[in-house]
Amino acid sequence: MQVTVVVPTFNEGPNVRELVRRIGDATRGLDAEVLFVDDSRDDTPDVIRRVAASSVVPVRLLHRDQPVGGLSGAVVEGLRAARGEWVVVMDGDLQHPPEMVPVLLETAAATGADVVVASRYVGGGDPGGLDGRWRRLVSTASSLLARSMFPVRLRNVTDPMTGFFAVRTGSIDLVALRPRGFKILLEILARNKVAVVEEPFVFGERFAGQSKATFANGLRYLQQLTALRFGRMSTFALVGAFGAVLNLAIMWGLEQVGVHYMPAAVVSAAVTIVTNFLLLEHFVFHDLRAEGRSVWKRAAQSFTFNGIEAAVRLPFLHWLVVLTGMPPVLAQALTLVVAFLLRFVFHAQVVYRPRKDAPERVVPWTGEPSITTRDEE
């Protein structure tokens, strides 16, 4: 069999008939099947069975009484049960257009990739189906954070948050996957050395029902990122914690000898900027130094960013102390927590970003697609 379309569902009954119809139309001429992995608590399984009875494309149902691993767990179950050489994973709400299924397979055949990511952000793509400005902002920020934590594996992946992709089943180690939350593509790319190419698509409007995105899903996503990239970010956190302690200790010591808290904050920031850069060079991003810019350029970028960040942070520190009455050291600690995330993203995305040896990302049929090879770490 050429392809299994895996559709994880949770209370998506109103979408099933239209989804299967469009998949059937899109896969005419292909040896294909649709596999629903269903965690629903309503009549969705019955709807799937009724639709399967008259579908032009074979439809199978795997209903899970216990949704182990959430949406990611459902996808992994589908990968294990799939009969096709390729699996296309897509949502059941029709925001992922079924007409893209053969396009993803054609892109895979043309490039030799193991994974074809349907991207909302590569040239020609559009995230328009995201509900509102806030969801778009969250999606963009989440993708940026993921790419910052995996600067090599995701160097050519613009949309690691997408739930729409094709994967050659023989290219990934299903045993190594640890499904949690709802972003299984990130798990696959982080744990497997695979060739990846992107194909743009337009994120559509939901056909029926309501979005399943919740605040709890956001927390699970952060837990997933931490588990996958615990090493680099934890070391960065240790460096940041050391810098924060050094910063606060210098500021406290200067205040004890009569220095005003603002000049004390400036001096402590200057010392920790230099110290933190040296620690980042040798303990956090040491494996990326050879792939990036010269040490002087890295230092200039790091010092410039930290200087600007300090210039913005110090007036905010003054505002916290003067207008809220917060003790200076406590206010300084609060601003350092916010600065931690900003510094991590900047250093991973800019200062230590690996060189891009791959060609520019373009629509595959008008040029060469962006691709990450199996040999990259």
Q: For residues 251 and 123, state if they share a domain.
A: no
Whether residue 25 is contained in a domain is answered as yes
Q: What is the pLDDT of residue 78?
A: 94
Q: How many domains does the chain have?
A: 2
Greatest CA span in the chain, whole angstroms? 84
Q: For residues 83 and 154, state if they share a domain.
A: yes
d(CA 174, CA 169): 9
Q: What is the pLDDT of residue 63?
A: 92
Q: For residues 265 and 171, state if they share a domain.
A: no
d(CA 85, CA 114): 11
Range of the domain at 283: 232-350
Q: For residues 196 and 307, state if they share a domain.
A: no
Per-residue pLDDT of the chain (377 residues; tens, 9 = 90+): 899 999 999 888 899 999 999 999 999 999 999 999 999 988 999 999 999 999 999 999 999 988 777 888 899 999 999 999 999 999 988 889 999 999 999 999 999 999 999 998 888 787 765 555 666 677 677 777 777 767 767 778 888 888 899 999 999 988 877 776 657 888 888 888 899 999 999 887 654 445 545 555 555 665 556 655 555 667 787 788 888 889 899 999 999 999 998 899 889 988 988 998 888 887 777 667 665 678 888 889 988 988 888 788 888 888 888 988 888 888 888 887 888 778 888 888 888 876 654 333 333 333 344 444 444 44
Domain endpoint, select from 211, 226, 241:
226
Domain endpoint, select from 170, 194, 226:
226
Whether residue 249 is contained in a domain is answered as yes
Q: For residues 39 and 159, state if they share a domain.
A: yes
d(CA 98, CA 110): 20
Q: Are 74 and 67 in contact (CB under 8 A)?
A: yes
Domain endpoint, select from 200, 226, 252:
226
Q: For residues 204 and 318, state if they share a domain.
A: no
Whether residue 356 is contained in a domain is answered as no
Instruction: Give the pairing type, strands 86-89 and 165-168.
Output: antiparallel
d(CA 196, CA 209): 32
Whether residue 209 is contained in a domain is answered as yes
Q: What is the pLDDT of residue 374?
A: 44
Question: For residue 208, how many other CB atoms are within 10 A of its CB?
Answer: 12
Classify residue 30 as exposed, middle or buried by CB count within 10 Å of its CB (0-12, 13-18, 19+). Answer: middle
Question: Tokens 């992107």 appear where?
Answer: 198
Tokens, residue 200: 């743009």
- Running DSSP on this structure, what letter comes out for residue 351? I
Q: For residues 244 and 166, state if they share a domain.
A: no
d(CA 305, CA 292): 17
Q: Global pTM?
A: 0.60
